[in-house]
Amino acid sequence: MTLRLNINIDHVATVRQARRAPEPSVVAAAMMCEQAGADGITIHLRADRRHIQDADLYALRQTVTTYLNVEMAATDEMMLIALDARPDAVTLVAESPNEVTTEGGLDVRANLEQLRVSISRLREGGATASIFIDPDAAQVGAAHEAGAQQVEFCTAAYADATLGANAMHADGQRRAAAELHRLREAATLAAQYGLKVAAGHGLTYRNVAAVAAIEEITEFNIGHNIVARALFVGLDGAVREMRERIIEAGRQH
């Protein structure tokens, strides 16, 4: 099965917003990612607009030729924007104003009725409805009940166990193995429900291969590590390197 890599370009906008300057352009970044072989572009339109702005979404909708995935909270404000901008996919995420980045998956079970309404609106508007969740059986079942077409598993716990000193210690290695097991189990269950399966959050060139080797996971949304790598090798090279890591691991299927 073909593995897809969507590049999250939020942190291109982060650099721009640091000076409220016109550059770097998220549209130019998206075009470069596509030319380098990216299968899609992902952005997170947050309530506080800390990086991506509304104008960015509309500009990208006019210029992205592959696949535009927009992460957002399931609020009335965001639903109206999504229905107007009409991205290819909308991934509903948990969001807190005080977090540095998304801290975990959305609790679908606790918000089932609200999410069912939001997902129905998105699907009627023509967008693929995805939910960002932890790799947990109850959340997978709830996502299915809510009418989602795809789940994206939060890989933050796995990524944390594989980074820095954690990767060198037995405890970190045990945690990484346990999180991979959780991801496999949740991905298998999601596929049984007929859901498409994606993964993302904290994935790097060093740790992505083990996740890409999970057969049911067919899409990856990766941003920070690619943008960080691009500072040294350029955006084109950074995208190509990550894509090669994922495709090579996928050949194990």
Give the residue numbers marked as catalytic.
44, 71, 201
* Three-state secondary structure string covering 124-177: HCCCEEEEEECCCHHHHHHHHHHCCCEEEEECHHHHHHHCHHHHHCHHHHHHHH
DSSP letter (8 states) at residue 247: H
- Whether the bond between 22 and the residue before it is cis, its omega within 30 degrees of 0, is no
Beta-sheet strands, E only, within the chain: 4-8, 40-44, 68-72, 89-92, 128-133, 150-154, 196-200, 219-222
The C-alpha atoms of residue 88 and residue 94 are separated, in whole angstroms, by 20
